[in-house]
Amino acid sequence: MARKSNITRISAEEAAKLPNETDWARADLVTGAALEASIAADPDEAGLEFDWANATVEMPQPKAVLNMRVDQQVLDYFRATGRGYQTRINAVLASYVKRMAGG
């Protein structure tokens, strides 16, 4: 199955030759207050507050290697979703476990 992609791959050397279109002078003019106001005006960020004092670092648990049998239509469905389908299968199973465990 051929994948469609809009991604163009270039080398690090080619990337270094690309023009830098960032307006750093304009970015330097943005004050902290203006940045906070911009974030507050964003409906996706409005009211979102982080309590960094209680933040923890959690390392992901290593994955277990598993060879299992599933119905062909289940495998076909997930494979048709493209790259990362095994991760999506894991997410579905993890969601089921969480729900069944009362979480």
12, part of any domain: no
Task: Find out whether 3 and 82 touch, Cβ atoms under 8 Å.
Answer: yes
Domain count, the chain: 1
Our CA dihedral for 9, 13, 18, 24, rounded to 10 degrees, sits at: 110
5, part of any domain: no
Q: In the predicted model, is pLDDT for residue 1 greater than 90?
A: no
Cα separations in angstroms, 44 against 32, 34, 60, 76: 19, 17, 27, 35
Q: What is the pTM of this model?
A: 0.44
Count of C-beta atoms within a 10 Å radius of residue 87: 10
92, part of any domain: yes
Confidence of residue 31 (pLDDT cuts 50, 70, 90): very high
Q: Phi and psi dihedrals of 27, rounded to 5?
A: -65, -40
74, part of any domain: yes
The domain of 34 spans 22-50+62-100
Note the pLDDT of residue 3. 67
90, part of any domain: yes
68, part of any domain: yes
26, part of any domain: yes
15, part of any domain: no
